[in-house]
Amino acid sequence: MIYRRFIDFPKMETGNPFADLERMKHHMDRLLGNLSEKRSRRAGSGVFPPLNLSEDKDGYFVRAELPGVNVEDLDIQATVNTLSISGQRTLPVEDENAKYHRREREAGRFSRMINLPDAVNADAIEARLVNGLLTVKIPKSDMAKPRQIKVN
Amino acid sequence: MSNNDIQVKEKQEAVASAELTKPGPVFTPAVDIFETDMEIVLLADMPGVTPDSLDIDLRENTLTLSGEVEQADHGEEIEILTEYEVGKFYRQFSLSEVINQEKIDAKLYNGVLRLSLPKVEKIKPRKITVSAS
């Protein structure tokens, strides 16, 4: 399989002071990744939520795990080459007599922006939230779609 | 509480007590557990788990949660950026209270499991009033 390599790796624009380090780490991981397991190629941006980005010939797919986030609390915006996902996760208030034994789930706001490698058709983006999984389907703009060239 | 920003947390890979027959990563879901006089409630984040693929098992004092997440078929897609992995969820708890097994209630909504485990009647704390003779 041929992997497309992007010189401009989608970068995080959320003012993370370690962004440069993270990016360097990612590039190092990618260099070493061919030697070790797939797992070490995981990027990790340090910003919630972690995203997976993939593409096919017609578009990009951004996926995130957002359990317990309601559709109303999710705000997705796109321009021709960026996608921003922000929102809020609220945990319902439980019985005040409840004694907590464990509290691992977090509530709060989140905001994330990614640069897309190519121009997209921002008007035709579709987003679905099913069982706590967010899938954003982003069609490429007609200019960015590959064209089959016939050889005569 | 909800004005803070959520900090990113790596998904914790579960340490299985026995080797699994099915390959693939297994993660520990984040849980909240609280107790009231009547019940113990467990909330677990299990994104991608459906009611059919979730298995809750209570045997003696051991509660086992295991949720299968289908590795979705993404067709011809090529991965560009991978920040999280998809895998099964698995976690075990040992319960110190006796649970009324017949009244256990589990709900799955938006990728969050809410499991309420009602305590058996007789161990509910009972206030004893002392009457003066």
Name the minimum distance, in Å, from the CA of B85 to any CA of chain A: 8
What is the average pLDDT across B4-16?
Answer: 77
Asked if the Cβ–Cβ distance from A131 to B49 is below 8 Å, we say yes
Q: Pick B53 or A145 by higher pLDDT.
A: B53
| Residue A62: Cβ-neighbour burial (10 angstroms; 0-12, 13-18, 19+) | buried
Residue contacts between A and B (CB atoms, under 8 Å): 160
Closest CA to A131 of B70, B89, B48, B88: B48
Nearest CA in chain A to B38: A98
Parallel, antiparallel or unpaired: strands B88-94 and B26-28: parallel
For A65-83, letters b (16+ CB in 10 Å) and e give bbbbbeeeebeeebeebeb
> Which pLDDT does position A67 carry in this prediction?
93
Contact criterion met (CB below 8 Å) for A48 and B89:
no
pLDDT at residue B21 greater than cutoff 80: no
Lowest mean pLDDT among B18-22, B57-61, B97-101, B102-106: B18-22
| Residue A38: Cβ-neighbour burial (10 angstroms; 0-12, 13-18, 19+) | exposed
Nearest Cβ partner for B6 among A6, A100, A109: A109
Distance of CA B18 to the CA centre of its chain: 19
Provide, as residue numbers in chain B, all residues whose Cβ is less than 8 Å from the Cβ of A6. Answer: 80
Q: Which residues pair with B40 in a beta bridge?
A: B35, B117
What is the average pLDDT across A79-94?
Answer: 90
Q: How confident is the model at residue A10 (pLDDT cuts 50, 70, 90)?
A: low
> Which pLDDT does position B10 carry in this prediction?
78
- Edge-first strand listing for the sheet containing B12-13: B12-13, B26-28, B88-94, B62-67, B54-59
Q: What is the pTM of this model?
A: 0.74
Q: What are phi and psi of B31, to 5 degrees?
A: -130, 155
Q: Pick B106 or A33 by higher pLDDT.
A: B106
pLDDT at residue A13 greater than cutoff 70: no
Name the minimum distance, in Å, from the CA of A151 to any CA of chain B: 24
Asked if the Cβ–Cβ distance from B9 to A117 is below 8 Å, we say no
pLDDT at residue A65 greater than cutoff 90: yes
Closest CA to A64 of B86, B66, B3: B86
| Residues above pLDDT 90, as percent of chain A | 38
| Residue B36: Cβ-neighbour burial (10 angstroms; 0-12, 13-18, 19+) | middle
Q: What are phi and psi of B72, to 5 degrees?
A: -60, 145
Q: Pick B62 or B20 by higher pLDDT.
A: B62
Parallel, antiparallel or unpaired: strands A133-139 and A59-65: antiparallel
pLDDT at residue A96 greater than cutoff 90: no
Contact criterion met (CB below 8 Å) for B75 and A56:
yes
Closest CA to B56 of B119, B108, B120: B108
Provide, as residue numbers in chain B, all residues whose Cβ is less than 8 Å from the Cβ of A103. Answer: 32
